[in-house]
Amino acid sequence: MNKRKLLQSTLAFAVAATLAGGVLAQDKPVKIGVTAGPHAQIFDMVKKVAERDGLKLQVVEFSDYVQPNAALAAGDLDANSYQHKPYLDQQVKDRGYKFTSVGYTVNFPIGVYSKKVKNLKDLKEGARFGIPNDPTNGGRVLLVLQDQGLIKLKAGAGLKATPLDVVENPKKIKFVELDAAQLPRSLDDLDAAGINTNYALPAGLHPGKDSIAQESAKSPYVNIIAVREQDKDKAWVAKLVKAYQSEEVRKFIQTEFKGSVVPGF
C-alpha cells in the first residue's frame, strides 16, 4: 500500500511539474517586432485578443525595415509583422535567413506624394523623385509610375525593378533612393516621392486624400507574419495568427484606417 501511494504521489508530482512548466512557458511573453505606426497600432488590438486566448505578447517597435529581420535571426524576437512576402523573399535570398511566412495580415497600397505638384503629369523635366532604397518597395513605386505612363520598364523587370530597368523616361526623372522611413521627411527636398503607407500615416499623409497616385488594390504586396522556420509549428504561432485574423482585429483595421490599410486575410 505504501509503495502504491508513493508511486501515485510521484506520478502526481510529475504531472504537476509538467503543467507548471507549461504555465511558466506561457508566462514568458512572445516578442513581436513591428514598425512604428499602423503595424504597432494594430498589434495593440492583437495583443488584447491574444491574451484572452492565454497568449502573452510583447510588442517591440522599430523605425526601419532592416532591424526587425536581423533581430528575429538573432533570437531577440520570436516573430515580426511589418513586411510583405516579396520583401521577405528578397531578404531570405540576400541574407540567408531561415524564415517562413505563417499568416497574412494587411495591405498598404503605396502612394505617391508631393508638396509641389497636384498631378504626376505636372512634374517638370529632371524632377527629383524619391523611392525606397530596398528592391521590392522601390520596384512598387516604379510600377506605379509605369502604370501612370511616366516611364517604361524593360520587359521582365517584374516586382524587383530598379531605376536601372527604366528604358523610357521622357521627363528625365532623377530617382533619389532613400531609406523608406526617411521619405516623408525628405518631401521638401524632392518634387515627389513614393511612400509606404505605414510611414505616410504617422507623417500626416493620408493615401486617400493626399496622394497624387496610388498602387492598385490588387497588388501582390500583402503583409505577413514571419517566424523562424524551426518555430512555425509551435502552438503559440497558431494562436498568434488566430488572434491577428480575428473579426475584432478586422473591424479595428477597417474602422481605424478607413481604407488606407486593408485586411489581407
Domain ranges of the chain: 2-108+221-263, 111-214
Model confidence pLDDT, tens digit, residues 134-165: 888 999 999 999 999 999 999 999 888 999 99
Q: pLDDT-based confidence at 45, cuts 50/70/90?
A: very high
- Amino acid letter at 140? R
- The domain made up of 111-214 has a fold known as D-Maltodextrin-Binding Protein; domain 2 (3.40.190)
Return the DSSP state at 16: H
Q: Is 152 helix (H, G, I), strand (E, B) or coil?
A: strand
Per 3-state DSSP, the chain is made up of helix, strand and coil in percentages (nearest 5) of: 50, 25, 30
Q: pLDDT-based confidence at 39, cuts 50/70/90?
A: very high
Model confidence pLDDT, tens digit, residues 70-112: 999 999 999 999 999 999 999 999 999 999 999 999 998 899 9
- Look at the block and give the residue holding cell 528575429: 72
Give pLDDT, residue 108. Answer: 86
Q: Which segments of the chain does DSSP mark as H helices, in order?
A: 2-27, 38-52, 67-74, 85-95, 135-147, 197-200, 207-210, 235-244, 247-257
Q: pLDDT-based confidence at 26, cuts 50/70/90?
A: low
**What pTM does this model have?**
0.71
* Alpha-carbon span 189 to 132, nearest angstrom: 15
Closest C-alpha among 239, 241, 238, 225 to residue 77: 225
* Alpha-carbon span 237 to 18, nearest angstrom: 21
2-108+221-263 matches 111-214 in fold: yes
pLDDT > 90: percent of the chain? 77
Closest C-alpha among 45, 55, 188 to residue 116: 188
Looking at the predicted structure, is the pLDDT value of residue 27 above 90? no
Give pLDDT, residue 136. Answer: 83
Return the DSSP state at 173: P
Q: Residue 206: what are its φ and ψ, rounded to 5°?
A: -105, 125
| 144 touches 112 (CB < 8 A) | yes
Return the DSSP state at 124: P
Torsion angle of alpha carbons 11, 16, 22, 27, nearest 10°?
-160
- The domain made up of 2-108+221-263 has a fold known as D-Maltodextrin-Binding Protein; domain 2 (3.40.190)
Looking at the predicted structure, is the pLDDT value of residue 65 above 70? yes
- Helix (H), strand (E) at residue 33: strand 30-35
Give pLDDT, residue 36. Answer: 92
Alpha-carbon radius of gyration of the chain: 23
Instruction: Decide: residue 258, CB within 10 A, 0-12 exposed, 13-18 middle, 19+ buried.
Output: exposed
Model confidence pLDDT, tens digit, residues 187-236: 999 999 999 988 998 999 988 889 999 987 667 889 999 999 999 999 99
The C-alpha cell at 131 is 523611392
